[in-house]
Structure 1
Amino acid sequence: MLETQKILIIDDEPILLKILSKFLQKLNIPSDTAESGEIGIKLVKKEPSTFSYAFIDYNLPGLSPKEIISQIRSINPKIKIILSTGYSVEDIKRELQPIEIDGTLQKPFTFNDVKKVLGE
């Protein structure tokens, strides 16, 4: 069984925030949402040890995924990062180097995809 405190979802599309939140609710996993990297970082700063995962959209306005991941991990080094994207996973992993991520969620994703990326 997955031991999760709370999952942070960062996406600029309100419908995707809602869908992911509902999927996590079905798994009895609490979540917080943020519509930008900056807001997500503030949430992690506010409660650094609360989040065990961050689901981050790869294509957000403002901060780059590298900047968001670096800042979140500087606050909470144990947080697992899952990138949601419609792009090629191999290209993203290459672009993000040397930063490593813990998983990807390929858009469009299903409830089973979310369960799989969380090891459920």
Structure 2
Amino acid sequence: MSGDPSNARVDSWIWAVRLFKTRSQAAAACRAGHVRVNGTVAKPATTVGPGDEVVVRGGDRLRIVEVTRPISKRVGPPVVAQCLIDKSPPPPPKAEAIAVRERGAGRPTKRDRREIDRLRGA
């Protein structure tokens, strides 16, 4: 990348700070409108610099981060902590529905099967 070292492409930056596993996933999220920079929808080539706020919506989680250091190469977790300030809300709590059957209880009854299906969300 032959640009200004104080700026980086948003798709490259969100991949480098480990918000996405691959750069192509990061670029696809930008094209789909799931990434915003300072409140506006970002294309993959949008540049980010120090002080910019990046909002990434992925799955059931909303990530809000502030850029402190733009990077374009993937780095380890200790360096990632220096490159962003995480302002994300805590993840939603996971439902604790645990179906427990005693060992050797035999085949589930029709009622048991309905309860298992209800717990699994089917």
Same fold (TM over 0.5): no
Larger Rg: 2
Which of the pair is proportionally richer in helix?
1
The normalised TM-score by structure 1 is 0.29
